């Protein structure tokens, strides 16, 4: 079982046929101030395996900050369904939705483990947005 890809995005869905649609992939977040919360952040995973790997697979997600402090974590399972006759590769999409707290600026990383093996690290940086110059400030006319 391998993680085919993992991305952070604004929105994602899996339709009734298993097709994964992803919108607004990003790796950087601007916030007005700290602490901050990014509402409804979507972490999207697509797992691929051989026909012999049909069934449930354990997935663990862990978000850490620059110091290695855990911000959030979660465990679950992804189930690969039996494919049609003649198909040798199976896949499954998973969408995890979080309201993510950010205590400070810096680099954060989503670590994704599948069946006890680290499969991917998805980086995410967070910074305070620069403030616009105030009217009357030097250099403004």
Each residue's pLDDT tens digit, 53-88 = 888 899 999 999 999 999 999 999 888 878 778 888
Domains located in the chain, CATH noted: 2-128 (2.60.40.2550)
Neighbouring C-beta atoms of residue 47, cutoff 10 Å: 25
- Are 94 and 61 in contact by the 8 Å Cβ rule? The answer is no
The model carries a pTM of: 0.84
Name the DSSP class of 32: S
Beta strands in 84-136 (DSSP E): 89-102, 106-114, 117-128
The pLDDT tens digits for 86-116 are 888 888 888 999 999 999 999 999 999 999 9
């Amino acid at each position: 079982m391998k993680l085919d890809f993992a991305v952070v995005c604004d929105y994602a869905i899996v339709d009734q046929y298993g097709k994964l649609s992803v919108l607004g992939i990003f790796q950087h977040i601007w916030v007005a101030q700290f602490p901050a919360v990014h509402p409804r952040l979507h972490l999207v995973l697509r797992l691929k395996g051989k026909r012999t790997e049909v069934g449930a697979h354990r997935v663990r997600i862990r978000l850490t900050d620059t110091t290695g402090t855990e911000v959030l974590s979660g465990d679950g399972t992804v189930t690969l369904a039996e494919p049609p006759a003649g198909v040798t590769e199976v896949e499954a999409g998973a969408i995890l939705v979080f309201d993510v707290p950010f205590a400070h600026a810096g680099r954060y990383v989503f670590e994704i483990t599948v069946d006890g093996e680290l499969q991917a690290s998805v980086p995410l940086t967070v910074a305070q947005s620069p403030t616009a110059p105030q009217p009357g400030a030097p250099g403004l006319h």
